Structure 1
Amino acid sequence: MGLIAPAALALFLLAGPIIVLYLLKLRRERRPVSSLLLWPAARASLQANRPWQRFRWSWLLLLQLLILAALVLGSARPFRVETAQPTGRNVLVLDTSASMGAADVPPSRLEAAKREARRYLESLHPDDEVALVVGGRQARVLVSPTRDRELVRRALDAVKVTAEPSDLGELLRLAVGITGGVGRGRVVLFSDGVVPNLPLGRLPVPLDFRPVGARGNNLGITAVQLRPGPGGDDLFVRLDGSVPQAGRVLVKLLAGGRLLDAREVAVTPEGGGVAVFSGVPAGEDVLEVVLDVNDDLGADNRVWVARSGRQTVRVLYQGRGNLFLERALGLIRGVELTRLAPDNPLPADRFDLYIFDGVAARVEGAGNWWWINPPAGAGPGFEVGPEVLFPEVTFFDPEHPLLRSVDLGNLALARTRTVTATAEWRVLATAGPAPILLARETEAGRQVVSTFNLQASDFPLQPGFPIFVANLVAW
């Protein structure tokens, strides 16, 4: 407790004159009257010879002193110092995966979740901070922590359903990080999925799960990939979603309305599975994949795959040799591989794709290239720095064509290098704060940089490695 203007307390001295005015005897004008019988108080006053009178209680005097005290204290401007307490931070997590487009809750599960999120927003204290995280497989922060309710409402209105499968674990990991462990923070999840068991131990903030959707009955085709094989093309179809109970569903492959093949896939309430069609015959430019199931969302039960014309892809590999990479390239029909020693200059012949593995390459004459583990120094639009030991993957972009059906979440790296790149490079994956996979598109061609040595990682041993190589050649 303190005073901003303590000198104003001197005004309390004005109480003295006010009290003195009540103690002074009044000087009355002399007038003759017939009797003093009705004037006992006046007679006593007249009999006193002193100018002061005895103090008598007066409500008017008390009121005047209270007014004076209020004016003085107001002029002194008292204040009190308190330690500000952190306000609550609420992170709203909105699932935008494909299943949220189901119409079992009209008009859709996503719209029902948005209505519930708006109601929760209205119930918060004005000082509470609110953040908004949305996504399906890939989480992103739509609104950083703010007290601007209108900003959050506009962001909610703009949220749309995506074609991604759901990864609630990724959404919740990002949300927990945004709370920063604030004591009164809270994560509020709006989803039709099942809350996973996060490998985070006990959450530092409460989790409030608001389920939407009357039934968990929706399967969808979330990924399709056509790859050349030794006996024809191989088609991989991934199913995701949830069903009321475990069972088997039928996936059909058609061309021109004709049934080519069918596969049964086992599904559980926690997710779907993969159907593989091997040896798809040539001659059909467009293939149709149909999931034969009656669920809440029919839009994700049918996809079309366009086949491109076959041609030879000439690939030049310059490095000390990489058996896993060469085998992955050998699985791709139409690839013609040429090997070049690290110290040899590039041949005059043009190639469709150049792969530089751990060498100080001269990429000026190359169009499309993949530079693996570039040495320290400057490259075209990027600068390679010192090594980082045992980094952990913190981000990857599954929507980019290079990483479709490729999961880098469990990638183990012994070492990588820090890279600083210009804005034309798009970061596709990071380990810690440093990028480990970058890509750009120029007039000369498309270029990719991976900052780690393939042989100092388990990437070549993962199922996604040959898919990544096939995506790279196709891209």
Structure 2
Amino acid sequence: MSLLSPLSLILFLPLGAMIVFLYLLKLRRKERVVSSTMLWRDAVADIQANAPFQKLKKSLLLLLQLLALLFLVFAIARPFIKARGMSENRIVVILDASASMQSTDMRPSRFEVAKSRTLGVVRDMGPGDTMLVITAGAKTRVVASFTSDKKALSSAISQLKPVDTGCNMRQAMVLALSLVAGKSAVPPRIAVFSDGGFNALSDLSAGNARINFIKIGRSCDNVAITGLDSRKTLSGDQQVFVGLRNYSMRERKFNLELYLNDQLLDIREETMAPGETRQEILSNTSNLDGRVTARLDISDDLTADNTGSVYLTKPRKISVLLVTKGNLFLQNALNLDTRTQLTRTDSLPADFGKHGYDLTVFDRIAPPASLPSGGYLLINASAPQGPAETGESVERPSVVDSAQNNPVTAYIDFGSVRIAKANYLKPKPWAVSVIDGEKGSLGVAGAKDNRSFVQIPFDLLQSDFPLRVGFPIFVANCIDYLAASPGARNESSGVCIRTGQPMYIDIPPGTEQIAVTNPDGNKQSLKVTQTPLIYDDTERAGVYKISGKGIRNEFACNLASARESATAPIAAVSVGGKEFNASGRPVETNRELYGPLLLLVLAVLSFEWYVYRRRL
């Protein structure tokens, strides 16, 4: 115990002396001369008792008054003890719920330890404290609003579970700062329970908030699947790439198991040095069709990154109709794919709707008002049923960004492409921009009603795009995306996405409701309000099953995050240019004891009054 104002104890001396002095002056008798004291012995004894300093003998009232003064002066000196937790009016707790918090270097897991310490902060809340609890995963959630109800807070925290996604700590911190800004004269406290596996927050301003970073985690002993993808070679063969990395500080030996639709396909023995990165390739898979799953048979800190899946489609012939006045670059790029059976024409055939082409390319020629089911690549052309509305015309537009996680624009650098003229596009609600210009989109992709589209609003022959190495890749991506079976669309390669990303499900006509079963076996019914239907509850790694009228499909979610797999905790975080060092426990704060002392003062004075009344 310590005192915030120890000099206040000096007040006891003058105030105590004043009480004693007043007690000495309590009785004032007049002296009289009498003939005998025989009858006045009791009076003489009383006079002796009230003589200076004799009046203080056996005086319970005086002792009680001095004791009350002692407690009062001690309260004025502001005694305090160091208490775990926080003694603030408004407390915000941010719990990192990302995949790395499932690491078992702390038992039973980092997340359970973080929950336990948060519950400790709840128990140590003062009478006037209120707390808000936020979880930070791919999504930010407020699990308990500002409240002083310890039971409600404890119940909400106890039910929390981590997710298999990254940590969007920036979104959580922005929310926390906005909720406490200017709400109280007392600087608010924000406690972050995390292992530090998130991007820097240097662009944020903490204001007057006091941020405490409570480090959760001790070490890193983890081997991860950092990437899983499939590629088609120009010869038509398919290859599966499995990226591996040993994040631990010791050599690890394990088996890499490969499955096709849950049937064992191959086992490879792996030995990896500390920090080693490796890529395994599964070739000669052209005849494979279905889900290929890679699994690490290893005991390490994190299991969420030990499994991943990718989908392979058995090659089939793709009928392609190219409608153009002449574009040798485009024609050659389409012919590079050994699956394509290309038909070229300079005008749309009258019986176009009867052929059922898998892919139709309109190059500078307007499509008809009504299009049958299939895939459509619109180059400097627009259609009423297309994915975008045409906007303003612009000379020499610049590409500022492209969606690398979209199958149409993956692995292509559009930043240096030079375009003479284009019309900006405005994507429809069911489509997304895959190439962004300064004031609008320069590329849109989407699927609706069994029709899939990619629209490019500029003439290829008035750009240098056909001369770049990314052009044949772009055409190959479009073939894969547009000629795929219309069961599901997403924003990643094939039908596998990263955890936390939305899944775009193309719904057949007439289907009003579908069900999605997640990797934990929980089934969720969804009412169809649009197509494609956006499903964003993808926070668990594994396989999701889709079922409904006219649809039966599946997709896989993979963690594949180097930041989450590198589970070594960091020593400090930076917010707004300020560095906050990590602590292994909640910050200790001053718990003042003046409240109980004032109650003691009242209790002593009440007892003193009771004794006084009994003597009357």
The TM-score with structure 1 as length reference comes to: 0.55
CA RMSD of aligned residues (A): 5.5
| Per-residue deviation, 1:190 | 4.7
Aligned equivalent of 2:492: none
**Contact 2:222 2:246 survives alignment (8 Å):** yes
Q: Using the alignment, how far apart are the partners of 1:412 and 1:263 within structure 2?
A: 41
Q: Which amino acid aligns with 1:233?
A: Q
| Equivalent in the alignment of 1:108 | 109
Indicate if the aligned counterparts of 1:254 and 1:261 stay in contact, CA closer than 8 A: no
Which residue does the alignment assign to 1:315? 320
**Alpha-carbon offset, residue 268 of structure 1:** 2.8
Q: Does 1:268 find its partner at 2:275?
A: yes
Aligned match of 1:295: 300
Q: Distance in 2 between matches of 1:351 and 1:236?
A: 31
Q: What is the CA distance between 1:352 and its match in structure 2?
A: 1.0
Are 2:367 and 1:361 equivalent residues in the alignment? yes
Structure with higher RCO (Cα < 8 A, 6+ apart): 2
The residue correspondences of 1:236-247 to structure 2 (distance < 5 A) are: 236-239=241-244, 242-244=247-249
| Structure-2 separation of matches of 1:393 and 1:120 | 44
Q: State the partner residue of 1:96.
A: 98
Count of residues in Structure 1 that have an aligned counterpart in Structure 2: 366
In the other structure, the counterpart of 2:391 is: 385
Cα gap change, 1:353/1:190 in structure 2, threshold over 3 Å: closer, same or farther?
A: farther
Other-structure match for 1:161: 163
The within-5 A match list for 1:17-416 is 92=94, 94-97=96-99, 99-115=100-116, 132-135=135-138, 140-143=139-142, 147=146, 157=159, 160-162=162-164, 164=165, 166=166, 171-175=168-172, 179=177, 190-192=193-195, 194-196=197-199, 198=200, 203-205=204-206, 209-221=213-225, 223-229=227-233, 230=235, 232-239=237-244, 242-244=247-249, 251=256, 253=258, 257=264, 259=266, 268=275, 274-280=279-285, 282=287, 287=292, 289-298=294-303, 300-303=305-308, 307-318=312-323, 321=327, 323=329, 327=333, 332-341=337-346, 344=348, 348=352, 349-356=355-362, 359-362=365-368, 364-372=370-378, 379-380=385-386, 382-386=388-392, 390=398, 392-393=400-401, 398=405, 402=407, 406=410
Query: Residue in 2 aligned with 1:440?
Result: 447
Mapped to 1, the partners of 2:156 and 2:282 lie a distance apart of 45
Using the alignment, how far apart are the partners of 2:204 and 2:298 within structure 1?
38
Question: 2:230 is paired with a residue of what secondary structure?
Answer: strand
After superposition, the Cα gap between the structure-2 partners of 1:193 and 1:201, relative to the gap in structure 1 and judged at 3 Å, is: closer
CA contact (8 A) 2:366 2:381 kept: yes
Q: Percent identity?
A: 19
Q: Which moved more, 1:115-124 or 1:382-391?
A: 115-124
Matched, 1:419 2:426: yes
Contact 1:437-1:451 at 8 Å conserved across structures: no
Cα distance between partner residues in 2 of 1:467 and 1:109: 44
Deviation at 1:154, TM superposition (A): 5.3
How has the CA–CA distance of structure 1 residues 213 and 456 changed in structure 2, closer, same or farther, with 3 Å as cutoff? farther
Distance 1:462 1:102, change over 3 A: farther
Task: Report SS of the residue matched to 2:283.
Answer: strand
In the alignment, the residues of structure 2 paired with residue 419 and residue 161 of structure 1 have an alpha-carbon distance, to the nearest angstrom, of 35
Aligned partners of 1:325, 1:240: CA distance in 2, in Å? Answer: 41
- Residue 421 of structure 1 aligns with an amino acid whose one-letter code is K
For residues 218 and 295 of structure 2, the distance between their equivalents in structure 1, rounded to whole angstroms, comes to 25
CA–CA distance in structure 2, aligned partners of residues 152 and 321 of structure 1: 67
Change (3 A) 1:366 1:274: farther
Task: For 1:295 and 1:357, locate their aligned partners in 2 and report how far apart those are by CA, in whole Å.
Answer: 53
Match of 1:386, SS state, is strand
Unaligned runs of 5+ in 2: 1-88, 486-616
CA change 1:470–1:116 in 2 (3 A) is farther
Structure 1 position 334, deviation (Å): 2.2
CA contact (8 A) 1:142 1:155 kept: no
Report deviation, 1:427: 3.6
Give, as a single letter, the amino acid of the residue that structure 2 aligns with 1:238: G
Change (3 A) 1:101 1:471: farther
Q: 1:262 to 1:409 in 2, by over 3 A?
A: farther
Conserved 8 A contact 2:101-2:194? yes
2:225 alignment partner, SS class: strand
> 1:368 is aligned with what amino acid?
G
Task: For 1:108, give the aligned amino acid.
Answer: S
Query: Structure 2: how far apart are the matches of 1:148 and 1:374?
Result: 58
